[in-house]
Amino acid sequence: MSIINEKDLEKLMNIQERTCVSIFIPTQRGGKDVLEGKNKTHLKSLWKDVRNQLNEKGLDENIISEIGKPIETLINDKSFWRNQSDGLAIFSAKGFFEKYTLPVNFEAHTYISEEFYIKPMVPMFNQDSRFYLLALQLEDVVLYEATKYSIGKVDIDDLTPSRLEERVGFDYKQKHLDFRTQGAGGEKAIFHGHGSGGEEERKEEILKYFRAIDKGLDTILNKEKVPLVIATQDYLFPIYKDINTYNYLFEDVVPGNPSETDMFGLHEKALQTLEPYLQKTMRNKMKKFEELNNTENTGTSVTDILPAIQQGKVETLFLENRSEIWGNYNKDNMNVTIDDAHKTGNYSLMNWAAKEVLRQGGEVFLIPKAQMPEKQSKMNALYRFN
């Protein structure tokens, strides 16, 4: 999976070409649709439409071919289509091509302009979206870095033991221990040993293993302030909590044996566990907007918000997720022109606004119309206090 990070997003936002093509499609991870090549067929159809639009614009055929060559190569890459997530984002211009396979349910969309269309991806970079996920087992340990929309493995092989035996030795008499769990969901562990101290001996071995993991993770996490979520069996989580030294360990565990699902399944379960945290900032910002609405600290008119963005005044931007505002913004006189549709010479004012707010360190939320703070406007803004 191609993980997109802040540097990737910045690179996309900074590209200005005469013709930039952005394509988003929903994809399936497996099943009949994958076997029948529907993901590939979908992209092929969208690229055909884009090519026709580029021809209608009178773009030189050599440039069209240069933009389209990596897309057509991708369409014919059988191995690529066997490894998909929920959505595919493609960005192509003269001398530039990037693709990102992401766990995001994109709606099918194409965009041709002098800039790339990054609006569908901006929620991935909200400040409270990032977290670490530790898949913890006695025979394996894996660390992932994730957001609400992406996940990737972090290499910790040189920092932590990969299994209990590496820490306590291979002669720890596993054959003499019958390890079981008791209670609903394995909430309580009983260690049945042969001879006195079997349970305590086993627990001490696990503690030693977990301390080594915690020490190794400190190399990566010591300057972080994001949640660390643990995916493990219920009986192991209290033991790990006892030795944990990271200040932002999430209080709830992702239950179950991590080996019984893949990376994407773990990511989905972690998001369910983290849901209250991931929604916290957005809810607080929306509440703040409602409290300050109709004051100088909020904006609901595009003609007011875009100049405020240019001046660095926007702290939080709320955009209606399935809508667009087409037009132009003149930075010289701060004049906004709004059109009814996308046409030659105009562009997405929502996309422009999202890029500028992110560049300034603000936050952007894509929200369904019914949940917009001010529902009569497709764009709401919470301004920075003077």
Question: 65-124, pLDDT tens digit by residue?
Answer: 999 999 999 999 988 998 887 889 999 999 999 999 887 778 899 999 999 999 998 877
Does residue 362 lie within any of the structural domains? Answer: yes
pTM: 0.72
If asked whether residues 316 and 239 sit together in one domain, one would say no
Structure tokens at 177: 């221990």
Let me know whether 137 and 167 are in one domain. yes
Say what the pLDDT of residue 235 is: 92
Looking at the structure, do residues 271 and 135 belong to the same domain, yes or no?
Answer: yes
Which residue range forms the structural domain that includes residue 314? 293-383
Task: Answer yes or no: is 125 within a domain.
Answer: no
User: Residue 358 maps to which CATH number?
Assistant: 3.30.1330.30
* Residue that is last in its domain, among 223, 244, 277: 277
Q: Consecutive 10-residue runs of the chain (386 residues): their mean pLDDT?
A: 77 92 88 76 96 95 97 94 86 96 86 95 74 92 84 81 57 41 42 54 88 91 90 94 95 92 90 86 91 93 97 96 95 96 94 95 92 94 87
Q: Which residue's structure tokens are 């917009």?
A: 372
Residues 253 and 205 in one domain: yes
- Residue 94 lies inside a defined structural domain of this protein: yes
Q: What is the CATH number of the domain that holds 110?
A: 3.30.960.10
Q: Which of 264, 312, 290 is nearest to 101 (CA)?
A: 264
Same domain, 94 and 29: yes
User: Distance between CA 169 and CA 209 in Å, rounded?
Assistant: 10
User: 55: alpha, beta or left, given left = phi > 0 and alpha = psi -120 to 50?
Assistant: alpha
pLDDT confidence of residue 151: 79
How many distinct structural domains can be found in the chain? 3
For residues 87 and 102, the answer to whether their CB atoms sit within 8 Å is yes
Q: Looking at 277, 311, 335, which one is the last position of a domain?
A: 277
Q: Which residue has the tokens 């109709």?
A: 294
pLDDT at site 127 = 61
Q: Give the closest residue to 135 by CA, choosing from 329, 326, 312, 267.
A: 267
| Same domain as 144, residue 265 | yes
What separation in angstroms does the CA of 221 have from each of 104, 141, 244?
26, 16, 12
Q: Does 345 fall in a domain?
A: yes
Beta bridge partners of 381: 299, 317
SS (H, E, C) the chain: CCCCCHHHHHHHHHCCCCCEEEEEEECCCCCHHHHCCHHHHHHHHHHHHHHHHHHHCCCCHHHHHHHHHHHHHHHCCHHHHCCCCCEEEEEEECCEEEEEEECCCCCCEEEEECCCCCHHHHHHHCCCCCEEEEEECCCCEEEEEECCCCEEEECCCCCCCCCHHHHHCCCCCHHHEEEEEECHHHCEEEEEECCCCHHHHHHHHHHHHHHHHHHHHHHHHCCCCCCEEEECCCCCHHHHHHHCCCCCECCCCECCCHHHCCHHHHHHHHHHHHHHHHHHHHHHHHHHHHHHCCCCCEECCHHHHHHHHHCCCEEEEEEECCCCCEEEEECCCCEEEEECCCCCCCEEHHHHHHHHHHHCCCEEEEECHHHCCCCCCCEEEEECCC
Same domain for 272 and 248, yes or no, is yes
β-bridge mates for residue 89, sequence order = 24, 100
**Which CATH number belongs to the domain containing residue 257 in this structure?**
3.30.420
Among the candidates 117, 144, 160, a domain finishes at 117
| Residue 123 maps to a domain | no
CA–CA dist 128, 136 (Å, integer): 23
The pLDDT of residue 386 is 62
For residues 266 and 299, state if they share a domain.
no
Residue 1 lies in a domain: no
- 195 and 332 co-located in one domain: no
Which residue, chain included where needed, has tokens 């995001």?
Answer: 104
* Both structure tokens of 240: 């790990």
| Rg over CA atoms, the chain | 25
Claim to verify: residue 237 and residue 369 sit in the same structural domain? no
